[in-house]
Amino acid sequence: MKNRAIVWFRRDLRLADNPALRAAVDGDYDGIVPVFIHAPEELGHWAEGGAQRVWLHDSLTALDNDLNALGSRLVVRRGPSLEALQVLIEESGATAVFWNRLYDPLIVERDKQIKQTLNKRDDLHVESFQAHLLFEPWQISTQQGAPYKVFTPFWKRIKQEPRRAPLPRPAELPPVWSRIGTVDIAELDLLPRIRWDKGIRQRWEPGESGAQRRLEAFLDEPAEQYDEGRDRPAVPGTSYLSPHLHFGEISPHQVMHRSEEWLDEHAKPAPREHIESFQSEIGWREFAHHVLFHFPATPEEPLDQRFKDFPWVQDDEALAAWRDGQTGIPMVDAGMRELWATGYMHNRLRMTVASFLTKNLRIAWQHGERWFWDTLVDADLANNTLGWQWAAGCGADAAPFFRIFNPARQGQRFDAKGAYVRRWVPEIAELPDKHIHEPWAAPKRVLEEAGITLGETYPRPIVDLKVSRREALDAFEQIKNT
């Protein structure tokens, strides 16, 4: 009897360090069918946003090319996932189905039902694997057996745990039989019909090879100044690995292992400090998934229940100005325009624009969460939820509510020469450094010389930063002791 395995690819679009694929390769299987099932309806309103769909299209294309190079191909099917798997099992005569686990609440429930249904078959071996994180969310707990809500002790605990080494990439794969049909990736309609995605396609290289090149480019230079460079949006000081990690084109095990190898190759004290800071960002990703797994309502509801009664403001006009990068606050506008043009926003700006929305405008964090979900190529339910609740002061290890980022001060500190703002807000580019982050405070003569008429060529601020800060603190007082 033939033994054949289905490998269900999800957000693990890579061949190296893929435990599900490795189980099929190492097993005594005559054939392996790699499949991706497109089933956005199973994710509700947390299905991939517009920017993610662009990335997914290119990443699936890259995976198919990589599989072809090894003698195989990617089979693409439409959902529902269970029905698609059952049909493929019958078509292929598969005796095993393998996949790697994910931890978004709806996916956990779906996968549980799929596994229970498939396990009822005596002729089928069904197994899932840990690949998306360093450790399972349920493996790490406090001494009291509770989930962590604070990052520092969580990461300290993680670092004490032994990690496995990355798994090798297969040298070759058996061909997929011609009778196994596939949907063309283009038929999934992942790309926009009005092609607004040019900036995304120009900036990024989705796929496993692109992820590896991105990591090596980071280690070649930015890694040695990471602690300083990561806060300066005008310089390439970060790894830009987040979308590759989200789609599983590279694994956290690979990132940790390669960065430690790099440290051994560069045995100097300074790089070690920077690499450890970089690795802690992998820790934050772990922490985000840990919190989401244990508190699955947090994409919709604040972890700190007091914030259910927070007096949020409904202001559609201000929300639109924020989305469009037309708030009259240069650092905020620059971040929002970078997001729209490239599908990405520097982390310093993510904190800045989130603080501005939730505290200066007092618009509920869920509005920002949803906009990021649709516009970020690295939109990840766990990271997005943790980040927005952190900024709003209502989540795990959140910034205290009274920590309100002043976007002008953020610009003066981290974009002192205005290079970032001048790139994304060109209408004020002629302002001198002294006024680039506060054009409303510039003398009339300076504005005229720079060709700026506030309210016409560039908006006046839609909110007074000092007044709105005070109003936000007064609003917090209303719920602080509830």
312 is catalytic: yes
CA distances from 21 to 26, 32, 169, 369, 370 (A): 9, 9, 9, 34, 33
- C-alpha span between 23 and 392 (Å, rounded): 43
Q: What's the mean pLDDT in 151-161?
A: 95
49: closest CA among 217, 246, 182, 202? 246
Domain with CATH 3.40.50.620 in the chain: 4-131
Q: Which listed residue (8, 55, 155, 284) is catalytic? A: 284
Q: Sorting pLDDT into bands at 50, 70 and 90, what band is 223?
A: confident
- State yes or no: pLDDT of 402 exceeds 90: no
Q: Where are the alpha helices (DSSP H) in 41-185?
A: 50-69, 81-92, 105-118, 151-160
The pair phi, psi for residue 314, each rounded to 5°, is -95, 105
Domain limits, CATH 1.25.40.80, in the chain? 133-164+208-294
CATH for 305-479, among 1.10.579.10, 3.30.310.220, 3.40.190.170, 3.40.50.10800?
1.10.579.10
Mean pLDDT of the chain: 95
Cα distance between residue 240 and residue 209, in whole Å: 14
Q: Considering the candidates 208, 281, 338, 438, report the single residue annotated as catalytic.
A: 281
Residue 2's pLDDT band, with cuts at 50, 70 and 90, is low
Task: For residue 220, give every residue at least 6 positions away whose Cβ sits within 8 Å of its Cβ, in sequence order, or none.
Answer: none
pLDDT digits (tens, 9 = 90+) for 311-355: 999 999 999 999 999 999 999 999 999 999 999 999 999 999 999
Mean pLDDT of 209-229: 91
**Catalytic hit among 46, 55, 155, 365:** 365
Topology adopted by domain 133-164+208-294: 1.25.40
SS3 131: coil
Considering 224, 260, 312, 430, which one is annotated as catalytic?
312
Please give the class, per CATH, of domain 4-131.
alpha beta
pLDDT of residue 1: 45
Query: What confidence score (pLDDT) does residue 424 get?
Result: 98
Burial zone of 180 (CB within 10 Å; 0-12 exposed, 13-18 middle, 19+ buried): middle
Q: What mean pLDDT is predicted for residues 10-29? A: 96
Q: Which residues of 70-107 are buried (b: 16+ CB within 10 A; e: fewer)?
A: bebbbbbbebebbebbbebbeebebbbbbbbbbbbbbb
* 55 flagged as catalytic: no
Task: State the DSSP code for 358.
Answer: I
pLDDT band (50, 70, 90) for residue 20: very high
User: Does residue 388 carry a catalytic annotation?
Assistant: yes
Q: How far is CA 316 from CA 34, 320, 362, in A?
A: 45, 6, 12
Catalytic residue status for 347: yes
The number of residues in the chain equals: 482
Q: How big is the CA angle at 151 (ends 242 and 344), to the nearest 5 degrees?
A: 20
Residue range(s) of every CATH 1.10.579.10 domain in the chain? 305-479
Query: What residues are paired with 37 via a beta bridge?
Result: 77
Q: What pTM was computed for the model?
A: 0.95
Active-site position among 8, 262, 388, 424: 388
- In 152-231, at which residue ranges do the beta strands (DSSP E only) sit? none
Q: How far apart are CA 217 and CA 41, in angstroms?
A: 37
